[in-house]
Amino acid sequence: MATILICLTAFLASILTFFSGFGLGTLLAPVLMFFFPVEVAIALTGIVHFFNNVFKLFLTGKHANKEVILRFGIPAVIAAFVGASLLLQFSDMSPLYQYNFLEKNFSIYPTKLIIAVLLMFFAVVDLIPYFGKLAFSKNKLPIGGILSGFFGGLTGAQGALRSAFLIRAGLSKEAFIGTTVVVSTMVDITRLGVYATGFGQHLQKDNLTLLLLTTISAIIGAFIGNKLLKKVTLKFIQQIVATLLIFIAIGLGLGWL
């Protein structure tokens, strides 16, 4: 049952991420946290995310904007290394708070709380009309790269913050998707290299079957998403993802996930 739930999440989230620029890592990581420690869930998500991105590179990479990749992607890679290194340090921290509810014990961990706050922020940005009118000039791209790369390395939730900058950078829909895939792949390579030094024992044979099935599910979702690219509006998908983020953020923040 766990494998089916994880694969279904990867499949649906991969479709969503084709339009919103985020979704797979943001939604898959919390589901994996049901079954693995938070740092292992983030690392496993990173592996699926990487192979899914490699597949999408062949579909959309040719539309990527080279200038944006340089100004946004390079700072993101550097910041991702810093964020991933911090995750290794946070993985051994004790719960911030523990409480009982309905005869069950819940623990609030630092990393999950950080993810919860970020997800709630991303959801608010997408749902409140005021934020939708904000525009970031190209000289703000390095700042966006640093922020998305850092939190991508730390929590795996890089896409929403990245999209908040790139979606308002004057790119066409095809260029936006192609650019996000290239930048996301660069960040994935960086953070997976760091994760391997601390969580490598969890990313090997014990979880190979799960990783393979989940990756295949995500790739199928990406293929379908590419076919639907011209039929679905970006704003509609963003609102769906934002609503899901609110529920996930509440669950993580309260220690339920």
* Binned average pLDDT, 10 residues per bin, the chain of 257 residues: 81 71 69 76 81 84 87 92 85 72 72 76 67 64 88 75 74 81 89 77 66 85 73 60 73 69
pLDDT at 82: 92
Q: Which of 116, 118, 113, 117 lies closest to 94 in space, CA to CA?
A: 113
pLDDT at 95: 75
Residues 93, 146: Cα–Cα separation, whole Å: 25
Residues 183, 62: Cα–Cα separation, whole Å: 13
The CA–CA distances, whole Å, from 127 to 24, 36, 78, 164, 243 equal 19, 31, 30, 12, 8
pLDDT at 7: 85
Burial class (CB in 10 A: 0-12, 13-18, 19+), 57: middle
pLDDT at 49: 80
Residues 153, 51: Cα–Cα separation, whole Å: 17
On average, the pLDDT of the chain sits at 76
Tokens of 147: 């922020």
Q: Which of 224, 190, 240 lies closest to 55 in space, CA to CA?
A: 224
pLDDT at 79: 94
pTM metric for this prediction? 0.73
Q: Name the β-bridge partners of 104.
A: 101
